[in-house]
Structures are given as structure tokens and as C-alpha cells.
Structure 1
Amino acid sequence: MRIFLGCVGRLKAGPEQELCSDYLARAAALGPGLGLTGFHLTEVEEKNKSAGLKEREAAKLLAAIPETALIVALDERGGAMGSEKFADWIGRERDSGTADMAFLIGGADGLSPQIRERAAKTLAFGPQTWPHMLARVMLTEQLYRAVTILAGHPYHRP
């Protein structure tokens, strides 16, 4: 199963970018033996901040992922999921034949209703509101952690 990350905004050089790159590289190295490939990150930007911004961002995010991808929206209204449950869910989707899974993170104003409605799952990192750039780091770490859990690696110690 290929994993896609679609994110509004571009990470500047710095610790957030370094962490995301590191976690994605680790997941990509371990994933193929588990049937998890890709870990494709696409960043989209919309320079025009006028009315309809979230809809234009949504169009760019959806254009960046396979049309049939199972969409996971990262949104503060979503449900929280522990790391082991998250890994198990990814493994079940992989085993059930899901070819592509796409995690989408909106910009400062969040995701459009269009994406939230299309999402198979809406996920939140707890009840707090997180900056969208930090949410990206948290997502990449959790994807790497999920891969290590599925591989039986000792990285995850509950």
C-alpha cells in the first residue's frame, strides 16, 4: 500500500523539516518489507488568500493524490487513536487490499468541508489545537512508529 501525505504550506529549512524528512526516510526504509511503500509528501500552496481559500487548497490536495486513495483528514474534530490502534488500522487497510492511503493536513484555516466529507477517517492528535506545521511532524513520527509496530521493532514501548 502506498502512503501519501498532502500538506498545505511548505516547511522551511529547520527542525520541523529535518524531523519530517528523517521520519519519512525511516518509514520508507522499513516499509517495503511490510507492504508499505512510497511515503510520498506533497506540499501545496495557494498564494491568493481571498475568499474560497480552503476550497482552492482542497482542490490542490486532491489533485496531488491518487483519485481512489483512502483519505484520512487530520482535523481537530476527528477522533484520537493510540499508536498501536493506529498501526493496527493501517495494517488492516493494507491487508484488505487498500492500494493507496492519503493523509491530508490543511493550512492555518484547516481543511475544507469537501475533504472532511470525503475522508474515510478523520484523525486528531488530541483535543488541543496544533499548528499545522507541527501536526505534520507528529504525523510523520506516528507513521514511522506504526511501521515499527507492524514490524515488531522495539521502537514502540507502551
Structure 2
Amino acid sequence: MRLLLLCVGRAKPGPERDLVERYIGRAAAAGRSLGFSAIELREIDESRARRAQDRKLEEAKAIRAALGGAAQIFACDETGKNISSADFAAQLGGARDSGVATLGLVIGGADGLDPGFRAEARLAIAFGAMTWPHQLARVLAAEQLYRAMTILAGHPYHRI
């Protein structure tokens, strides 16, 4: 299964970007032996539309194009479920085991995700009740992808 971390907006060079790249690299290396053929970061340009609703619609269209036709979507959304790392790993493993070819973990733009796009998501998750800057949300998502790979592999990185 191919796993994509899709983020609206471009990350600026710096420690947050470096940390995301490090976790994505670790996740990809760990995931190869677990049936994850690729784990990669993709950035989608922010819309320049004037109205927030129009921006979200344009960004959703670009996300769909980046995902391709039959991809499964996990949306990062402040109204999503708070799930444990083990549950997140189980969701990824379940998607892999059910034959999903591509799964996109999606972080929307500053205005969030289009409600129609969010409704298409198989799972909507939140990183707690607090609001996080986009750069840190990326780090959290990338780290959770790596943690999920270690959980699925039985590696001791994740301790309860």
C-alpha cells in the first residue's frame, strides 16, 4: 500500500521541515517490510481564492488530483476523533490488509478542509482539542506514521 501525507501549503525550510522529513524517511524504511510500498510527503499549493469556501473547494480538488482515483482518505480535522496511536496503527494495518492501494493522510489549509471532502474520508482524526500550527501538525502526523509502523512491526519504540 502506498501511503501519502498530503499537506496544503508549502513548509518553510527549518527544523520542523527537517523533522517531518526524518520521520517520513524512518516510516518509509520501517514500512517496506510491512507491506507499505511507499510513504511520502506531498505538498499542495494553497488556493488564492478570495473566499474561504472557494479556497477549500479548490484545495479539495487539488488534493483529489494528487491522491488519484480510488485512494482512501484519513483526514486530520479539529472535529475528528481522538484515537490512540495503537488504534491509528490498526486502522492503517486494516486498510493495507483489505487491499487499499493508496491511502492519503490529509492536512488541510488554514481554512480547514472542504466539508464535502471531509465527508469522503474513511476516518477523521484530531490531535487533541488544542489548535496546532500547520508546521507542528505535520510533525505530529509524520511521527504518528512512524510510530504506527513500529507498532505494526512490534518494535519497542512505542511504549505503553
Q: 1:58 aligns with which of 36, 57, 60?
A: 60
Q: Provide structure 2 residue ranges, at least 5 long, that are not aligned to the other structure.
A: none
Shift of 1:37: 2.2
Match of 2:128 in 1: 126
Match of 1:45 in 2: 45
Match of 1:147 in 2: 149
Q: CA RMSD in A?
A: 1.1
Q: Provide structure 1 residue ranges, at least 5 long, that are not aligned to the other structure.
A: none
* DSSP 3-state at the match of 1:56: helix
Cα contact 1:108–1:131 (8 A) shared by 2: no
Equivalent position amino acid for 1:37 in 2: S
User: Which whole-Å CA distance do the structure 2 matches of 1:132 and 1:37 have between them?
Assistant: 26
Q: Which runs of 4+ in 1 moved over 3 A?
A: none
| Residues 59-92 of structure 1: CA deviation (Å, up to 9, x unaligned) | 1111111211110111000001101111112111
| Residues 99-125 of structure 1: CA deviation (Å, up to 9, x unaligned) | 111111111111111211111111101
Equivalent position amino acid for 1:60 in 2: A
User: Which whole-Å CA distance do the structure 2 matches of 1:141 and 1:71 have between them?
Assistant: 18
Provide TM-score, normalisation by structure 2.
0.94
Match of 2:75 in 1: 73
Shift of 1:47: 5.1
Q: What percentage of residue pairs aligned between the two structures are identical?
A: 51
Shift of 1:132: 2.0
Provide TM-score, normalisation by structure 1.
0.95
Match of 1:157 in 2: 159
Q: 1:98 aligns with which of 92, 97, 100?
A: 100
Equivalent position amino acid for 1:27 in 2: A
**How many residues in Structure 1 have an aligned counterpart in Structure 2?**
158
